[in-house]
Amino acid sequence: MEEKQIAEQRAQRAVYVAQEAEQQAQADINRAKGKAEAQRLLAETLKAQGGN
């Protein structure tokens, strides 16, 4: 009985770790999108002001 409980806890932990990794990856993606948008806006502003 105890082994089954330990196995279930390990499985739950693995699910938690996978979910945590997924959330971190999504946060990294969102951060990268934000940076890309900031760069795009900066380039657009510089171009509008006559920069290259």
pLDDT at 52: 60
Rounded CA-CA distance 10/43 in Å is 49
Instruction: Read off the pLDDT of each residue in 21-36 and give the average, rounded to a whole number.
Output: 99
DSSP 51: -
0.85 surpassed by pTM: no
At position 36, the amino acid (one-letter code) is: A
Interval 5-34 mean pLDDT: 98
The arithmetic mean of pLDDT across residues 13-35, rounded, is 99
Q: How many domains does the chain have?
A: 1
**Domain housing 1:** 1-52
15 — phi, psi (to 5°)? -65, -45
In the chain, DSSP finds a helix count (H) and a strand count (E) of: 1, 0
Percent of the chain with pLDDT over 90: 92
Q: Rounded to an integer, what distance in angstroms lies between the CA atom of residue 46 and that of residue 17?
A: 43
pLDDT band at residue 1 under the 50/70/90 scheme: confident
